[in-house]
Amino acid sequence: MSLPVTDTFASDAKYVETLIIGSGFAGLGAAIRLAQKGKRDFLVLERGSDVGGTWRDNTYPGAACDVPSQLYSYSFALNPEWTRSFSTQPEIQQYIQSVSKKYNVLDKHIFDCAVHSAHWNGETSQWQVRTSKGDFLAKIVVTAVGALCEPSLPDIEGIDGFEGEIFHSAQWNHDAELTGKRVAVIGTGASAIQIIPAIGKKVEHLDVYQRTAPWILPRADREFTKAEHLAFKYLPGFQRLCRAGIYWMRETQVVGLAKAPIFMKPLQFAAERHMRRQIKDKDLRRKVTPNFQIGCKRMLISNNYYPTLARDNVDLVTDGIARVTANSVITKDGTEREVDAIVVATGFHVTDSPTYGTIFGKDGRSLAEVFDASGQQGYKGAAIANYPNMFFLVGPNTGLGHTSMVFMIESQINYLADALDTIERHDLGTVEVRKDAQDSYNKNLQEKLSHSVWNNGGCASWYLDKHGNNTTLWPGFTFDFRRQTRRFDLAAYDSVATKDLPEPAAAPAVALVTGERLDKDDNDNDNDKVSAQ
């Protein structure tokens, strides 16, 4: 079944060969690669007003990365300016902005442009993309919508009627003054354990509502010395050597996470010792002790979360929330706690992103419908059967539990770039991963995941979809993923030559933000060629 052009789709929709949706690390990296390969007919649609994605949006107090700074950058744009071993949100956002300017791709962006829907039109072999800034036609769509971009709000009775300040951690209200107030934080995940220490000292009272206790390891964070900064800048290869050392050290965790969970014992011992050292009260220690094996859920790092919980003005509440009133939170044991503000730190829609309901394939079904029926499955995290000429960055089973997602993103960009070259070289009109290739790939993935701590560690996590399958994480070494995505494997795809497709409807070229047209060459620049290493 193909989807014809709808009556409501603009007849003057603008045409662009490649549309990239999103400009976080993935979308921006893809734009840079395309520009450096000399491809000019592409645009990046970004719903925010700047690049950065999750690092633009998450500005809550204490926001920082839990991946070492040396790994959390593009391999082609190492940053000698990191101030510390684990970077804060402002530094990461500044880095992303600087890279976008260095590689001259901002003129390929349309900001404040929300994508409402994308439909595959089988009659013209094009994507019809509806946005808040007009309609577009595209031969190829690249979705670079990250997993941590759609806040998940708790379904709690009465929460909509709360009369105080209430906001999600990813939508922090900086106009809300929490000093001297009674505050509740719902959740104890990665964001919450950064927020709680940041506000714990200034609020009058803080209630922390915990559903599941996380495993927390020490945060080996420190400022870089002046000598290190000089070496990063002026000693050839020094920063890359540091990066390589951290990378290989992190890869050793894969053995315990994905292959033999018994090897997670040393990390669990370190986490238990960290807890004992920082929490002396036995009752509190009992509350914060997880009931599952370390690694089953996301491992967190913090040096000040446990001490904050031990403060006199902080209470850890482990009874479930029954309802919220206009000015209080009532737990299932009947206890009512009055609060002036509620911070919702309940994570994101990962396996059930609302974005999935806006992308419609060749049979007219949305991604949400496809995933609901058979689970969130893809091929190398980059393609999904039924969605021709669509490529995914940070797609199914590309997440990590131990190291930098930027490494996986660059691997997928390698695959995307070679796919676009292959399409151009063979003059292909459409490419679509074969269902049998996708099924075989996922069968192998799930077999490998069946031995992992994520599937056997005794927890329920957002790594698993409603079918019980781990559709989020990569089940092995990241260098193996890099190897598998180094080249586009056309043999796994059904393809149709351009000459065998019907002539697409004519459409005007897209006007760039700068007023230039897509068919007009930009000024040459001498930026380094991008190659993921």
Three-state SS annotation for 139-181: EEEEECCCCCCCECCCCCECHHHCCCEEEEHHHCCCCCCCCCC
Give domain status of residue 69, yes or no.
yes
Q: Could you say which of 344, 367, 399 is where a domain stops?
A: 344
Instruction: Summarize the chain as % helix, strand, coil (round to 5).
Output: 30, 20, 45
Could you tell me whether strands 314-317 and 300-301 are parallel, antiparallel, or unpaired per DSSP bridges?
Answer: unpaired
CATH code of residue 192: 3.50.50.60
Q: 309 and 434: one domain? A: no
Q: How many structural domains are present in the chain?
A: 2
Residue 518: closest CA among 177, 149, 127, 17? 17
Q: Could you say which of 312, 344, 376 is where a domain stops?
A: 344
Q: How far is CA 505 from the centre of its chain?
A: 35
Q: 190 and 315: one domain? A: yes
Q: 208 and 290: one domain? A: yes
Give domain status of residue 520, yes or no.
no
The CA distance from 480 to 472, in Å, is 17
Give domain status of residue 511, yes or no.
no
Q: 171 and 289: one domain? A: yes
Q: 232 and 120: one domain? A: no
Give domain status of residue 299, yes or no.
yes
The CA distance from 316 to 193, in Å, is 12
Residue type, 27: G
Going from the C-alpha of 420 to that of each of 145, 361, 423, 425, 441, the distances in angstroms are 19, 20, 5, 8, 22
Q: 139 and 202: one domain? A: no
* CB 365 within 8 Å of CB 377: no
Q: Can you give 215-268 as a three-state secondary structure string?
A: CEECCCCCECCHHHHHHHHHCCCHHHHHHHHHHHHHHCHHHHHHHCHHHHHHHH
The pLDDT averaged over each successive group of 10 residues in the chain (533 residues) is 50 92 97 96 97 95 97 97 98 98 97 97 95 97 83 87 95 96 96 97 97 97 97 96 98 96 96 98 97 95 98 97 97 97 85 84 95 91 97 95 96 98 97 98 95 91 83 96 98 95 56 35 36 37
Q: 124 and 260: one domain? A: no
Give domain status of residue 313, yes or no.
yes
Going from the C-alpha of 496 to that of each of 160, 493, 501, 525, the distances in angstroms are 51, 10, 7, 35
* Predicted local confidence at residue 504, as pLDDT: 54
* Predicted local confidence at residue 351, as pLDDT: 63
349 Cβ contact list (under 8 Å, min separation 6): 150, 151, 152
Q: 143 and 165: one domain? A: no
CA dihedral 123, 129, 134, 136 (to 10 degrees): -60
Q: 175 and 275: one domain? A: yes
Q: 167 and 68: one domain? A: no
Give domain status of residue 456, yes or no.
yes
* Predicted local confidence at residue 102, as pLDDT: 97
Give domain status of residue 508, yes or no.
no
Count H helices and E strands in the chain, helices first. Answer: 15, 20
Segment 440-447 long-range contacts (CB within 8 Å, at least 24 positions apart): 441/379, 441/380, 442/377, 442/378, 442/397, 445/397, 445/475, 446/470
Q: 132 and 102: one domain? A: yes
Q: Could you say which of 304, 322, 344 is where a domain stops?
A: 344
Terminal Cα-to-Cα distance of the chain (whole angstroms) = 41
The CA distance from 17 to 37, in Å, is 15
The CA distance from 355 to 21, in Å, is 11
Q: 46 and 189: one domain? A: no
Give domain status of residue 245, yes or no.
no
| Full domain range(s) for residue 390 | 14-150+349-500
